[in-house]
Amino acid sequence: MSVTVRPRRSALYMPASKERALEKARGLAADVLLMDLEDAVAPAEKDTARAQLGVAITTGGYAPREVAVRVNGLGTPWHDDDLRAAATMGADAVLLPKVESSAMVDQVAWALDAAGAPASLPLWAMIETPAGVLAATEIAGHPRMTCLVLGTNDLLADLKARYRADRAALMPALAQTVLAARTHGCAVLDGVYNAFKDEHGLRAEAEQGRDLGMDGKTLIHPAQLAIANAVFGPTEDAIATARAEVQAFERAEAQGEGVAVVEGKIVENLHAAAARRLIAEAEAIAALEESLKEGA
């Protein structure tokens, strides 16, 4: 059975108002480029950023990386224009901030359709408010939704909680968002780590997100890419073990047995399925990285 996986180990926010940043993004080893029209763009630059981003995406040079455009939120002066532009930019997804219900997703989907967006254009949702966390399952269940993105800075502020290295105050929200995403087959990305020069702290937080079930981490600086890619990518040992598990299980199946043993551990169908997915992820990452080398 073949498994299709799209790597999302690293998702880097890029300010659409900075032409140099948009150009630099073409050479960065990010799995996902989050082209930002919202927080990273000052109000006076919104219109220029939108037009500049449209030209950049149309010009190309970002593939095979995934490009998602984060628009300004419902109720802001720029939201409608952002959606009209994003509908036909050629981005891989549209990222919606502060989503708190499936109805909000519906409203955006209708607007994109009316603006001529492809019917298959995926929507991603920022989960960054208490209401958004409580509605995460409903949001993930929307037919156009393919990825939930944690906005941990905003969420922490709304909770009136203090940041700690173990992210204790955020644990219920992180876990609930992962549960919602997995229930409906969505990807899920962890929030940003603000101290971009603190490699030790970034690695620890990324490992925590990975252990919780996240697919990758959102980032604020290119210097964070290598750590996120390493933490959320499978190791060589893990790949070798996965291949051994698949081979052993397939041999067992051929002999009419439902269980195999690898390195003293039981391998059942669920373990073989997880191993196949890990192998597919490793192959997708290798293909992406090879493509980036060829384009360099």
Summarised one tens digit per residue, pLDDT across range 174-228 is: 999 999 999 999 999 999 999 999 999 999 999 999 999 999 999 999 999 999 9
In the numeric block, which tokens belong to residue 278?
């890990």
Q: How far is CA 60 from the centre of its chain?
A: 21
Q: Say if residues 10 and 232 touch (Cβ distance below 8 Å).
A: yes
Q: What is the mean pLDDT of residues 245-268?
A: 93
Q: Say if residues 127 and 151 touch (Cβ distance below 8 Å).
A: yes
C-alpha span between 257 and 154 (Å, rounded): 51
C-alpha span between 95 and 261 (Å, rounded): 43
Average pLDDT, the chain: 95
C-alpha span between 12 and 196 (Å, rounded): 12
C-alpha span between 159 and 131 (Å, rounded): 11
DSSP letter for each residue of 216-231 = EEEESSGGGHHHHHHH
* Burial status of residue 113 (CB atoms within 10 A of its CB: 0-12, 13-18, 19 or more): middle
Q: What percent of the chain has pLDDT over 70?
A: 98
User: Which of the four pLDDT bands, split at 50, 70 and 90, describes residue 2?
Assistant: low
pLDDT above 60: residue 137: yes
Question: What separation in angstroms does the CA of 41 have from each of 38, 72, 114, 179, 196?
Answer: 6, 10, 26, 32, 19
pLDDT tens, 75-105? 999 999 999 999 999 999 999 999 999 999 9
**Count of alpha carbons within 13 angstroms of residue 148, beta-carbon side:** 36
Q: Which residues 6+ apart lie within 8 Å of 268 measured at CB?
A: 249, 258, 259
Phi first, then psi: what are they for 82, rounded to 5°? -60, -45
pLDDT of residue 291: 83
C-alpha span between 67 and 225 (Å, rounded): 16
C-alpha span between 63 and 54 (Å, rounded): 15
Q: What is the mean pLDDT of residues 127-136?
A: 98
Q: What is the mean pLDDT of residues 269-290?
A: 93
